[in-house]
Amino acid sequence: MASGLLVNAYLAVVARNLTPAEYGYFGAFWSLSLLVGFGAFLPVEQELARLSPSAAMGAATRVALGLAGLELLLVAAASPLLLDPLGGKPWAVVAVAALCLVSAGQFLVRGALIGSGRLAWHGGLLVVDTALRVLFALGLGYAVVTDSAGFAWTLVAAIAVAHLPVLLLVPRGPGSVSTSDFRRAVLPLLFGSVCAQLLLNGLPVVVAATATDSDTAGRFLAAFLLVRVPLFVAVPLQTALLPSLAKLSREGGRVLVRALVRLTAVLAASGVVGAVFAGLLGPRLVRLVFGDSYVLAGGDLVLMAIGVVAHLGLIITTQALVASALHTKVAQAWLVGIAGAAATFALVPDLLLRAELSFLVGSGLGWLTGMFLLTTSGEDRRARRPGHRVDLLRALRVRADQLRQGRR
């Protein structure tokens, strides 16, 4: 929670030192940083945490470096396309490339700390990282820097200073996990992680690239970041819910679905409350946090708030699919969400409206798809339960004996 508040403080400091147009360019960089970092390296962190650093640190490092190298090639190839949403600033593109490297170290450290049971160290490191971002941004503001590329480097510097020294201190064991095994485990997670980041963080980049008025992109980003504050609890929420969801799945598909229906009702009620709050107080709160230059209508914030609730539902439902061992269904839900968002953005004419509706429709379609796949996959779920698997194998053997006897 402390790190989440510091992230918002960091973004507010940056916004108050930049014009809305420059903040729009910084927002595109911020979204790219989440795609480069969380999208690519969160699966490495998760698998390293699961296996422990003593068993997999070497394999995780090699896979992370391979992903960083691939990202560098993609950034180099896409640099002409990245210049426009980043305000035509080459140093901002270089900062994205630098993030490819420092993010690899960042998520290796986080996975190693979690995997070795040092959760207090992990939480403390998150606070140090975000506090450094605020301090570096305040320093640039004091120096009267008004260029978005300069503030982009505060993020790179904070991640590097907080994490890379710790990476040198992480103990490395004999390494019983091979690089190929680690890579095979990470690849399925990578697809879902990238899709999730595209749906959540792709819109600010697209808005910055397509906006005819740069100030509009900055105002959209400021409001979008503020409304998304509830999503800062999404990651710990997933971790807390997964054991309970797995237990419900073992008890039976109907039990799990009933629990999710009740949770859907809670989220729907939260959506109504959030929409009313966003419509009445949202515009004033945006100006209070980011400054008087950031003005957006209450209706825009209402659509964003409902989209955030739908995205929370999508996250929880995909975790229920994971708990039910339906990993391929997770990818299908995210793909439907991405496709829905892309189609909405292409069809709706107004820039702000199509951005807001893209997030809402994409998250909502992904959520509904996940619920549909969960409720219609009862046989798959039962087949994954150990007791059912034994019964199924026994039935298959009996049927095979019957067929052999019929041939004699």
What's the pLDDT at 135?
Answer: 96
Our CA angle for 264, 338, 379, nearest 5°, is 55
Do residues 249 and 223 both lie within one domain? Answer: no
Indicate whether 87 and 128 sit together in one domain.
yes
In this predicted structure, the answer to whether residue 122 has a pLDDT above a threshold of 90 is no
The token pair at 167 is 């990476």
For residue 184, being part of any structural domain is answered with yes
Q: Is residue 400 part of a domain?
A: no
The model's confidence at residue 378, banded by pLDDT at 50, 70 and 90, is low
Whether 384 is covered by a domain: the verdict is no
Total domains in the chain come to: 2
Q: Which of 359, 84, 39 is nearest to 223 (CA)?
A: 359
At position 78, the amino acid (one-letter code) is A
How confident is the model over 196-208, as pLDDT tens digits?
888 888 888 888 7
The answer to whether residues 205 and 325 belong to one domain is no
| Look-up of token digits 């619920």 | 371
For residue 388, is it within any domain? no
pLDDT digits (tens, 9 = 90+) for 292-315: 888 888 888 999 999 988 998 888
Give the per-residue pLDDT at 243. 60
405 pLDDT higher than 50: no
Residue 270 pLDDT grade (very low, low, confident, very high; cuts 50, 70, 90): confident
Q: Which residues of 228-252 are buried (b: 16+ CB within 10 A; e: fewer)?
A: bebeeebeebeeebeeebbebbbee
- The residue range of the domain holding 367 is 241-376
Distance between CA atoms of 345 and 351, rounded to whole angstroms?
8
Q: Is there a single domain that holds both residue 136 and residue 173? A: yes
* Nearest by Cα to 364 from 343, 345, 336: 336
| Apex 27 CA angle, 26 and 31, nearest 5 | 120
Looking at the fold, whether 138 and 269 belong to one and the same domain comes out as no
How many residues comprise the chain?
A: 408
User: How many CB atoms lie under 10 A from the CB of residue 137?
Assistant: 25
Record the tokens describing residue 298, joined without a space.
């209450």
User: What's the N-to-C CA distance of the chain in angstroms?
Assistant: 70
pLDDT at 175 over 80: no
Share of the chain above pLDDT 90, in %: 29
Residue 181 lies in a domain: yes
The listed range with the strongest mean pLDDT (133-142, 259-268, 317-326, 391-400) is 133-142
Give the torsion through C-alpha atoms of 22, 197, 343, 28, to 10 deg. 10
**pLDDT tens column, 29-82:** 998 998 899 888 988 887 888 787 888 888 999 999 999 999 999 999 999 999
Confidence of residue 366 (pLDDT cuts 50, 70, 90): very high
Please, which pLDDT band fits residue 89 given cuts at 50, 70 and 90?
A: very high
Looking at the fold, whether 269 and 202 belong to one and the same domain comes out as no
Nearest partner of 271 among 244, 243, 301, judged by Cα: 301
Q: At how many degrees (to 10) do helices 214-227 and 2-17 cross?
A: 160
309 lies in some domain:
yes
Question: 203-260, pLDDT tens digit by residue?
Answer: 888 887 787 777 777 888 888 888 887 776 565 455 446 566 767 777 766 777 777 7
| Domain match, 281 and 206 both | no
Are both 218 and 246 inside the same structural domain?
A: no
Give alpha helix (H) positions in 116-178.
119-142, 148-169
Asked if residue 122 and residue 53 are part of one domain, the reply reads yes
Please check whether residues 87 and 60 belong to one and the same domain.
Answer: yes
Q: Is the pLDDT of residue 106 over 90?
A: yes
pLDDT mean across residues, the chain: 82
Q: Is residue 83 part of a domain?
A: yes
Q: Are residues 103 and 204 in the same domain?
A: yes
Does residue 273 fall inside a structural domain?
yes
Contact assessment for residue 384 and residue 332, using Cβ atoms and an 8 Å cutoff: no
The reply to whether 220 and 247 lie within a common domain is no
